């Protein structure tokens, strides 16, 4: 899950055209926080700097921790603030969907868990999921799709597709297309 989040962060940071800083930290209860505001004093956080597309250093800047002795950032333009908020919203949606999917899986008895883990997942969902009922329903639907995409039946479907595409396979093009369509429709993660 952390590797997937790092991949998403890299992709989102690379695609952003606005300069922004996003802070990410995990509190003592294991709850993930994402904010465009600095974390509380004394909290060690990862700072992700997003440079403008015209930057000579590329799209992403260095990662640091809050409290480092780096020069003060310039005031952000309205476009930069909007870009930061959009990125932050995407990151929060990702954390929300992952927490909701894990919560569903663990409370459904599919995996052993502890009360502490359930509490951590609920706090992460509460912190990152939208309060808007329409948006929250969308996030819950994404979590349900993620659960299906991670299910054993989808693992089997992707493996079958791989076998059908292997050299020497006797699968017809129509069979491969049908299997690919099934995987695309039912087994593709809604978040990356």
Whether pLDDT at 159 is above 70: yes
pLDDT score, position 57: 38
Same domain, yes or no, for 113 and 182?
no
pLDDT score, position 53: 45
pLDDT score, position 69: 60
| Integer Cα distance of 107 and 112 in angstroms | 9
Domain residues for the domain of 156 are: 152-186
Q: What is the CB neighbour count within 10 angstroms for residue 34?
A: 21
| Integer Cα distance of 59 and 82 in angstroms | 17
- Closest to 47 measured CA to CA, from 29, 73, 28: 73
Whether pLDDT at 50 is above 70: no
Q: Of 20-24, 45-49, 125-129, give the range with the top mean pLDDT.
A: 125-129
pTM summary value: 0.60
Average pLDDT over residues 26-32: 82
Same domain, yes or no, for 91 and 131?
yes
Annotate 162-182 with b (16+ C-beta within 10 A) or e (fewer): eebeeeeeebeeeeeeebeee
Whether pLDDT at 31 is above 90: no
The three-state secondary structure class of 65 is strand
Same domain, yes or no, for 111 and 93?
yes
Q: In percent, how much of the chain has pLDDT > 70?
A: 76
Better pLDDT: 70 or 29: 29
Same domain, yes or no, for 32 and 124?
yes
Same domain, yes or no, for 120 and 141?
yes
Looking at the domain assignment, is residue 80 inside a domain? yes
- Closest to 191 measured CA to CA, from 149, 133, 163, 157: 149
How many domains, in total, are found in the chain?
A: 2
Average pLDDT over residues 88-102: 91
């Amino acid at each position: 899950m952390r590797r997937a989040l790092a991949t998403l962060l890299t992709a989102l940071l690379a695609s952003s055209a606005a300069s922004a800083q996003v802070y990410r930290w995990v509190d003592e209860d294991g709850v993930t926080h994402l904010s465009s505001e600095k974390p509380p004093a004394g909290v060690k956080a990862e700072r992700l700097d997003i440079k403008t597309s015209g930057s000579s250093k590329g799209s992403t800047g260095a990662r640091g921790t809050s409290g480092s002795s780096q020069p003060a950032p310039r005031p952000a333009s309205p476009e930069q603030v909007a870009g930061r908020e959009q990125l932050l919203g995407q990151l929060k949606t990702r954390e929300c969907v992952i927490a909701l999917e894990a919560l569903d899986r663990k409370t459904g008895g599919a995996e052993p868990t502890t009360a502490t883990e359930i509490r951590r997942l609920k706090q992460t969902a509460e912190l990152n999921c939208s309060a808007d009922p329409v948006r929250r329903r969308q996030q819950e639907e994404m979590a349900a799709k993620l659960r299906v995409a991670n299910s054993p039946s989808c693992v089997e479907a992707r493996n079958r597709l791989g076998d059908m595409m292997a050299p020497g396979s006797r699968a017809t093009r129509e069979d491969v297309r049908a299997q690919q369509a099934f995987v695309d429709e039912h087994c593709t993660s809604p978040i990356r």
